[in-house]
Structure 1
Amino acid sequence: MTTGHRATIASKIEVRRIFTIGLPYIDQHAGEIFFGPKDGYLYLTTGHGGNNTHGDPWNFSQKKKSLLGKVLRLDINHFPTPAEIVSLGLWGNYTIPSDNPYTNDTELKPEIWALGFRNPWRCSFDSERPSYLFCGDTGQDRANASSTFEKVNLVTKDGNYGWRVYDGFDLFSPNYAPGGSTPPDSINPIFPILGYHHGETQNPSFSALVAGYVYRAKADPCLSGRFIYADILAADMWAAAETPYMSGNFTTQKVNFTCSKTTPIPCSFVGSTSIPQLSFLLSIGQDNNKDLFYITRTGVYRIVRSVHCGYKCNKS
């Protein structure tokens, strides 16, 4: 049942399976489901499904006939015909947008929008520039934990983001590769626009990037237009500005943060610092007013005006 455009009761008879995929290992099963704000299609991200020790041993992320390690783009508003299911080898109840990259590259599975990801598990479109799709991607564990690199990619149609040829900006050499390897000179990788090494965080022995949104709310003018992201242990947060605008080049800086004096959730702090003890940062959310929320194990927190946290913002 619906009232206006708001669903009040879910109808189980309307539930249908859209997509099914097999996974080879227990690690890197990232996945996010979201709709394109301009095209209305369903975007689905998939991890490479490899394991932490060997790092995509079957090289699924680079293989154009695999749906692992990809950003997929599906039309779920139209049902496929039996002929389409067979000819395109579909994995569920959807059709393929006519402008997906496979129309230019027949080697690609038709669902693929972009490839070469390790574990893309938080993505978002900029609400004011829907051509900008940001995706966070976790790094491969390295012998020196502090050197492991977390990254944010600006995803474009038919883009190849390098994994497992590259991990971030560095060439990656797997210690076990039964699925073969992709020569570096055979691809044109798109490198991350943002990122950090574990050694740059408060907890270098365990880190993972949680990508957020371009801030478009009104609560904090000093964050306006900046891409917000953070580390999973919620002790480090960043804001990145595109300079110059529409260039694709970003500069970033760490953001000071603490609890508002009027917070409805009592705050405890990390040692003698002003950093809130939030435990794990599980996700970053956005509401209809474009306000951003940090979803943590201790509660849900909203970005508010700087003055409430004892900071100054010189923009009105």
Structure 2
Amino acid sequence: ATRGNPSEVRRIFSMGIAYRNAIASQILFGPDGYLYFLTGDGETELDPYNLAQNKKSVLGKVLRFDVDSFPSAAELRKRSAWGNYSIPRDNPYVYDNQSLPEIWALGFRHPWRCSFDSERPSYFLCGDSGKDQYEEVDIVMKGGNYGWPYFEGDFPFHSLNSSGRNNNMNSTNFISHVMGYDHSQSNTNEGSSSIVGGFFYRSETDPCLYGKYVFTDLYGFAIWVGTENPENSGNFTSARVPFSCAHNSPLQCKLGKTHPHGPHLNLNYVFSMGVDNRKDIFLLTSNGVLRIARPSRCNYKCSKEKFTGSQIPRHSPLSDTGTGVKGPQMGFSLFFYSFSFFLLYFTL
């Protein structure tokens, strides 16, 4: 659709805001038809009120709503005036009077961008931004607790009790992340980072990237690709991949610090990622919008890439040029359209 013409405007959910930062992160519909709402812990100093662990607070949570069904009178009494929705019957705390029934998962600091794998709907991955040390990617499950503020990644952050027994994630019932990176691995100039959760790549555009999980960082110095091995195991490894801009792109990347693989470039700020109906991945940056394109667009090779008539470069009112990256095994490209899109390519 190129424009919207809503016939109805309805308030779905409202909440009080006691803090100024890290409140609402994202809303998205899941493959189950329910609405998921991501909230941060409010970014109070070190979450002193333990809001991310408090099941009576909506902060530091993934919430799940049924927005197609109107609430019953009993639901309205229980929920006060928070919104116009019903609670899915399979939410984990729907029958727990000591917890908010909207909660799907908890223990997040600032979940920034989540997505469902289009081929495996049970794979719901979220990036969660850390405080001082670590950024993480979590597989979010029903009733899962992801540890904040007691852990930042696998590193103890707050003590669970005076005995200090939370010396590792195995000593608790918290769920550990599946991928992540230390702040020193991203924005080495400033030492700060903020993860941008991504997507499993399911497009036919770059067959060498197919099935990998792509994510990045706000500061635009780094892109990671995660590989699950074996498939459906939940065991991931991730690698940072260098990238570069195509020589004929009207919008060039800025030169960053030198890396062992060569100079690192800077996309400025990366705010979010998205996919289109072809399942191509886009990056929304302060420079423009980037799309993964065919590796050959940036003179990189993917042994699985096949050319058809529809893939032959063609000029249109949205003229296309690109950018590229280099690494050891496979390719990843993004593409620039004259006024808003930008092509990048990288390899693993």
Of residues 11, 28, 35 in structure 2, which corresponds to 1:42? 35
Structure 2: distance between partners of 1:97 and 1:186: 32
Of residues 12, 15, 18 in structure 2, which corresponds to 1:18? 12
Mean alpha-carbon deviation: is it higher for 16-25 or for 271-280? 271-280
Residue pair 2:112, 2:195 contacting (<8 A) in 1 also = no
Residue pair 1:30, 1:121 contacting (<8 A) in 2 also = no
Q: Under a length normalisation based on structure 2, what TM-score does the superposition of the two structures give?
A: 0.78
- Are positions 1:150 and 2:135 aligned together? yes
Q: What's the counterpart of residue 103 of structure 2?
A: 112
| Shift in CA distance, 104/255, structure 1 to aligned 2, threshold 3 Å | farther
- Are positions 1:293 and 2:282 aligned together? yes
Structure 2: give runs of 5+ residues left out of the alignment: 306-348
Structure 1: give runs of 5+ residues left out of the alignment: 1-5, 142-147
Matched letter for residue 288 of structure 2: G
Superposed CA offset, 1:275-309 (max 9, x none): 54421011111111000111111111111122222
What secondary structure does 1:87 align onto?
helix
Matched letter for residue 197 of structure 2: A
What secondary structure does 1:128 align onto?
coil
| Shift in CA distance, 57/84, structure 1 to aligned 2, threshold 3 Å | same
Of residues 33, 47, 54 in structure 1, which corresponds to 2:27? 33
Structure 1: distance between partners of 2:26 and 2:254: 31
Q: Under a length normalisation based on structure 1, what TM-score does the superposition of the two structures give?
A: 0.86
Q: How much has 1:21 moved relative to structure 2?
A: 1.2
Structure 1: distance between partners of 2:157 and 2:108: 13
Q: How much has 1:32 moved relative to structure 2?
A: 0.5
Mean alpha-carbon deviation: is it higher for 207-216 or for 73-82? 73-82
Greater strand proportion: 2
- Are positions 1:267 and 2:252 aligned together? yes
Matched letter for residue 169 of structure 1: D
Residue pair 1:227, 1:240 contacting (<8 A) in 2 also = yes
Q: What's the counterpart of residue 194 of structure 1?
A: 179
Q: What's the counterpart of residue 163 of structure 1?
A: 148
Structure 1: distance between partners of 2:171 and 2:15: 28
Structure 2: distance between partners of 1:46 and 1:131: 21
Q: How much has 1:89 moved relative to structure 2?
A: 4.2
Matched letter for residue 255 of structure 2: V
Moved over 6 A (4+): none
By relative contact order (CA 8 Å, sep 6+), the higher-ranking structure is 1
Superposed CA offset, 1:42-66 (max 9, x none): 0000001132xx2111101101111
What secondary structure does 2:76 align onto?
helix
What secondary structure does 2:25 align onto?
coil
Residue pair 1:50, 1:58 contacting (<8 A) in 2 also = no
User: Aligned pairs, how many?
Assistant: 295
Matched letter for residue 246 of structure 2: S
Matched letter for residue 43 of structure 2: G
- Are positions 1:222 and 2:217 aligned together? no
Of residues 278, 292, 297 in structure 2, which corresponds to 1:303? 292
Structure 2: distance between partners of 1:63 and 1:90: 20
What secondary structure does 1:71 align onto?
strand
Q: RMSD of the alignment, in Å?
A: 2.4
Residue pair 1:24, 1:50 contacting (<8 A) in 2 also = no
| Shift in CA distance, 193/104, structure 1 to aligned 2, threshold 3 Å | farther
| Shift in CA distance, 115/202, structure 1 to aligned 2, threshold 3 Å | closer
Structure 2: distance between partners of 1:298 and 1:133: 29
What secondary structure does 1:118 align onto?
coil
Superposed CA offset, 1:219-275 (max 9, x none): 211211010001111111010011110000001112232223454x42143158665
Residue pair 1:43, 1:73 contacting (<8 A) in 2 also = yes
Q: What's the counterpart of residue 134 of structure 1?
A: 125
| Shift in CA distance, 289/202, structure 1 to aligned 2, threshold 3 Å | same
Structure 2: distance between partners of 1:9 and 1:314: 42
- Are positions 1:65 and 2:56 aligned together? yes
Q: How much has 1:150 moved relative to structure 2?
A: 0.4
What secondary structure does 2:272 align onto?
strand
Structure 1: distance between partners of 2:81 and 2:139: 27
